[in-house]
Structure 1
Amino acid sequence: MTTNPPDSDLLLLSLVSGAALYLVVGLVTPRGSPVPVLVAVFVFSNMLSRTTFFQTLVRKTRLAIDKREWALPWIALEPIGVFTENSAFAALPKLLQLELLQAISSLEDYASNSRKTNDRRRSLFRLMSWRQQKLCDEAGYSRKLKEIDASIGKNQAVFSAIADAAKKNYGISYKDSSAMIKQKATKSTSSSNYRVVESMGHFIRDWADSKETSPLVNYIFKHLDDIIPKDEVEKTCIIVPGSGLGRVAHEIASHQKYGAVHAVEFSGLMHCCNQFVYEAASKSKHVLVPYANSTSNYLTSDAQFREVEFPAATTKPSNLHLHLDDFCAFQVPEAQKYENVVIVSVFFIDTAENILDYFDQINQLSAPSRKSKTKNGYWINVGPLKYGSAARAELNGDEIAHIRKSMGWRDIDTTNTLESPEAINKNGLLPYITDEKSLWQGFYGVTMWCTAHKDNLRKRN
């Protein structure tokens, strides 16, 4: 396997090559011809584009454009509102402000949007003949539609509390939010009612029932304990990108007294829900009717309308930090304090539009370098490979393993649960936001690995 030479070597080679070609081409072209200069510039720029510095600059520039940070001044936006200088909301980039406000708006509009869907069911029901409607009503269909409305009201009470908590946490007033919500976010993950409904499944997965997350956490703990010596725990920083409602990050932060655990989530909706779990003012458990919005795949109404409690007054570990941020732009606060950096990606890498952007960022955050004090970088991954509709590269497990090695990673462990089901359970399949009382069940086989950067100060046999 070949690795890229350091930037200094590439720059020296480009200068020497450019100068040599300039002299050679100058001997065979007329005096005053621009060809020698053009050839030398072409060679130099081509070599410069291969440097890590240049590639990182291009990637960050593209990410900035994608985030609309530079484009926003040319978009017709209404006034955002006035926030105090120390407002957490004012400190966010424009795109994340939009994302957060879209999340709050979606949470507050859940009942309205959901009841519109239920009213459409009623309208479609009335298109049936009188005899057919009577048969359905005798079976309890109209009562079920009324129960859906009642359940929506119960859910809205929880979502309104989440929205209020987010406004308080970020210092957003009613006037400010009303002005901001008028903006149309071009890349919001929180602007649809579907996402709010989906969040109830995440509450259950993360905070009401641990059977979906415990196999993931067990694998992570096993390898964290293997790669981080006990006397280096407090010198270790762990980053959990795409942290969702935060159970995995919470368990990691509680497992050992790591120097810092950073949960990084781009979805304003998931971030607000994660924050709400730790709200000190919430002293009692909250009740959701998580399956009320769907009328598909249920054998009984009792199964559809069963209520689920999730704990609210969960104490947030002191070393856990929640960030509303784009992982590809995230920088570790006080990074110089940590000798070990571990990226823990869980059901995350296949969410990328460009999966190599994720890999580049993982390298940048964790690879040992002369400039940072990081001595050892590690990466633990657990998840499927289910790509979205706009992925620029849909890589399989073997291709990802090849790229890891090419980028300087040396695997400590690799496990495919289809081949080694005993790594997690009997059949190697993990449920994901699935309802055991539904006729539809969702399961994934997952690819798991623990890998160390080849430049780590601590070497393994």
Structure 2
Amino acid sequence: MESDWAILLQAAVAGVIVYATAKVITGTRSLVPLLAMVFVVSNGLGKTEVFKRYVRLAHRYWIRLNHGSSSVHGLRSLSGNEAYKELSEASQSELAIALNSLMNYRSNTKRSNDRRRELFKLMSWRQQNLATKTGYLKRLESLDSLIVANQRFCDSIIDYTLSHYGLDSFAVRKIKPHGGGGGSASNSNYRVVEALSHFLRDWPDTEISPEIEPMVQFVTQQLERICGNKTSSYLDGADLVVPGSGLGRLSYELAKRNPKWQVSSIEYSGLMSICNSYVFNENPNPLTTFYPFIHGNSNIICAKDQARSITFTPRVKPGNLNHFFGDFRFFKLAPNSQSTKPLVIVTCFFIDTAENLIEYIDTLNNLASSSKRTTYWINVGPLKYGSAAQIEPTVEELTELRKLMGWKDITNFSSIDDDANDGSLPKLVSYITDTKSFWQGYYGVHAFACKKT
């Protein structure tokens, strides 16, 4: 794949040659040489990604001028599309920030690659010459082309999202995060890379990834344990709520495996949410291939490993699966006063993301009290707290906290505890792990199922 600069250079050289040749043939006063050169150069320009991107932007701007209608936060949504207006103001802002982060992926990622080149130049000429002979600079050049390919994938997600919400990309680019964006879950290139990596975790080209399957197996086994000696229809019609659903594979699997469950997938991050929606792409030929391993140069064995691509298969969204883009603390179940079936809350690699874990449990208690139904809570995940966590309980402390807040344990163990692990989970669970890298990421997890008393 050629970079924009290479294409432009080739076009410029070709234009000069055409101009000189035409000048010799037609004479000094003819405009033909100049017109021929302009044609050749503009033809080359039309092949660049930058030109194509601005053509798309101009098209959206034309749509805004002719069909746009104003809405909050300075964005414009096309008439007849209510999906954007249904979002809370916080989610509208988060969506705009996520789209901006995707739009800026190429420039931000290439800046990191350019910095590597600048650091390379700090070495002596001899050292640079030796490193160049190893193929190091050639590998950096190849990464530039893969960054371009990844931007095309990001552009596909952007186009799909703008179409879904009826947004004008010109207005989206003007949106600035409130308060500097410190509270946004999407306001950095790191977050874009993280979202792309979750395609590998949640939606590989295999049927289901080895990182997700243990989670699904544990949750389904706990659901069977909840039924106990009750009839198999005890959970038919139950509401399963999955906060912090990421790219949504666990929610999808639960909905697919039992169509009688009503599954609500909740995600606060705009990037995760729109990537989740992109998985259920209705377009006939969506772009589904990108390169997730190019964002770091550490622990790599060979250039071929770094240049691997992944391709995911778009899925059909189950009819019993609903996705909610927003803060789970403000999530409310759809009114259904007739339902007497249980409510099951499933948290997977989620509770340690809380700044205030007690507030999270308060939210679970509020859901339980508002539903007025038997409520269960199933959890599996590590306790890797963020830098701003207001409470960082141990497993023992968290177990006592659940008891104090009205939950009675049915299952409770740590996966690394050989004496307590009942075999329903592996001792260690991988998380966005590249098996061809020297660095391997695995977590022991705290697993429990409990009932609200």
The answer, yes or no, to whether TM exceeds 0.5 is yes
Measure the CA separation in 1 of the matches of 2:73 and 2:278: 29
| 1:322–1:436 distance in 2 versus 1, CA, 3 Å | same
Aligned counterpart, 2:82: 87
CA distance in 1 between counterparts of 2:163 and 2:235 reads: 34
Deviations 1:239-268 (A, max 9, x none): 000000000000111111234211100000
Taking structure 2 as the reference length, what is the TM-score of the superposition? 0.78
Equivalent position SS for 1:441: coil
**CA contact 1:99–1:190 (8 Å) conserved in 2:** yes
Partner amino acid for 1:334?
P
Whether the aligned pair in 2 keeps the contact of 1:239 and 1:263 (CA below 8 Å) is yes
Matched residue, 2:160? 165
| Residue in structure 1 matched with residue 7 of structure 2 by the alignment | none
Q: Classify 1:79/1:204 alpha carbon distance in 2 versus 1 (closer, same or farther; 3 Å).
A: closer
Cα deviation per residue 1:269-309 (whole Å; 9 max; x = unaligned)?
Answer: 00010000001115467212111111111121111111122
2:105 to 110, 122, 130: 110
Deviation at 1:363, TM superposition (A): 1.1
Q: 2:200 aligns with which of 187, 204, 212?
A: 204
**SS of equivalent residue, structure 1 residue 395:** coil
Match of 1:129 in 2: 124
5+ residue gaps, structure 2, are 1-71
**Aligned-pair CA distance for 1:179:** 3.9
Note the C-alpha offset of 1:326.
0.4
* Partner of residue 385, structure 1: 383
Pair 1:214 & 2:179 matched? no
Deviations 1:94-145 (A, max 9, x none): 2211111111111111111111111111111112111111101100001100
1:155 corresponds in structure 2 to 150
User: Pairwise mapping of residues 344-383 of structure 1 onto structure 2 (< 5 A)?
Assistant: 344-367=346-369, 374-383=372-381
Secondary structure of the corresponding residue to residue 175 of structure 2: helix
Given that 1:342 and 1:366 are in contact with CA atoms closer than 8 Å, whether structure 2 keeps it comes out as no
Contact 1:387 1:394 in 2 (8 A): yes
CA distance in structure 1 between the aligned counterparts of 2:317 and 2:257, rounded to whole angstroms: 13
Q: Which residue of 2 is the match for residue 287 of structure 1?
A: 289
Residues 172-211 of structure 1 aligned to structure 2 (within 5 Å): 172-181=167-176, 184-208=180-204, 210-211=209-210
Match of 1:58 in 2: none
Contact kept, 8 Å, 2:255 with 2:263, in 1: the verdict is yes
Q: Distance in 1 between matches of 2:407 and 2:346?
A: 15
For structure 1, which runs of at least 5 residues remain unmatched after alignment? 1-76, 455-461
Distance 2:285 2:73 in 1: 39
Contact 1:99 1:188 in 2 (8 A): yes
Matches within 5 A, 1:277-316: 277-283=279-285, 286-312=288-314, 314-316=315-317
* 1:422 shift after superposition: 5.8
Q: Which moved more, 1:395-404 or 1:284-293?
A: 284-293
1:253 to 252, 255, 277: 255
Distance 2:177 2:218 in 1: 44
Q: Please give the residue correspondences for 1:60-75 in structure 2 after superposition, counting only pairs within 5 Å.
A: none
The alpha carbon displacement at 1:348 in A equals: 0.4
Equivalent-residue separation in structure 2 for 1:82 and 1:196 (angstroms): 24
Counterpart for residue 272 of structure 2: 270
Structure 1 pair 349–78 and aligned structure 2 pair: CA distance change class (3 A): closer
Number of the residue aligned with 1:452? 451
For residue 266 of structure 1, what is the amino acid of its counterpart?
Answer: Y
- After TM superposition, the structure 1 stretch with the greater mean CA deviation from structure 2, 84-93 or 302-311, is 84-93
CA contact (8 A) 2:333 2:371 kept: no
- Whole-Å separation in 2 of the counterparts to 1:280 and 1:82: 20
CA offset at residue 357 of structure 1? 0.7
1:410 aligned residue: 408
Between the aligned partners of 2:425 and 2:380, the Cα distance in structure 1 is: 17
RMSD of the alignment, in Å?
Answer: 2.1
Partner of 1:49: none
What is the rounded CA distance, in whole Å, between the counterparts of 2:261 and 2:367 in structure 1?
16
**Change beyond 3 A, Cα 1:282–1:221:** farther
1:336 partner SS: coil
| Aligned partner of residue 401 in structure 1, secondary structure | helix
SS at match of 1:448: strand
Matched, 1:343 2:345: yes
SS in 2 for 1:449: strand
Distance 1:391 1:189, change over 3 A: same
Deviates more, 1:235-244 or 1:221-230: 221-230
CA displacement at 1:341 relative to structure 2: 0.6
Read off the aligned partner of 2:414 and give its amino acid letter: N
Distance in 2, matches of 1:105 and 1:441, equals 31
Specify the code of the residue in structure 2 equivalent to 1:449.
F
Q: How far off its partner does 1:366 sit? A: 2.2
- CA deviations on 1:397-434 (whole Å, 9 max, x unpaired) are 11111111111111111121111386558960111111
Amino acid at match of 1:223: Q
CA contact (8 A) 1:83 1:176 kept: no
Q: What is the Cα deviation at residue 82 of structure 1?
A: 5.9
Shift of 1:200: 2.2
Q: Which moved more, 1:194-203 or 1:83-92?
A: 83-92
Cα distance in 1 for partners of 2:188, 2:329 equals 24
Deviation at 1:186, TM superposition (A): 4.5
Aligned to 1:437: 436
Contact 1:78 1:179 in 2 (8 A): no
Q: In the alignment, which residue of structure 2 is the partner of 1:322? A: 323
- Specify which of 393, 397, 400 is matched with residue 398 of structure 2: 400
Q: Secondary structure at the match of 1:380?
A: strand
Amino acid in the other structure paired with 2:408: R
Q: Deviation of residue 185 (structure 1)?
A: 3.5
- TM-score scaled to structure 1, two decimals? 0.77
Q: Using a 3 Å threshold, how does the CA distance of structure 1 residues 240 and 129 change in structure 2: closer, same or farther?
A: same
Specify the alignment match of 1:333 in structure 2: 334
Q: Which residue of 2 aligns with 1:54?
A: none
Quick one: structure 1 residues 320 and 125, their matched pair in 2 at CA, closer, same or farther if it must change by over 3 Å?
Answer: same
After TM superposition, give the deviation of residue 234 of structure 1 in Å.
3.8
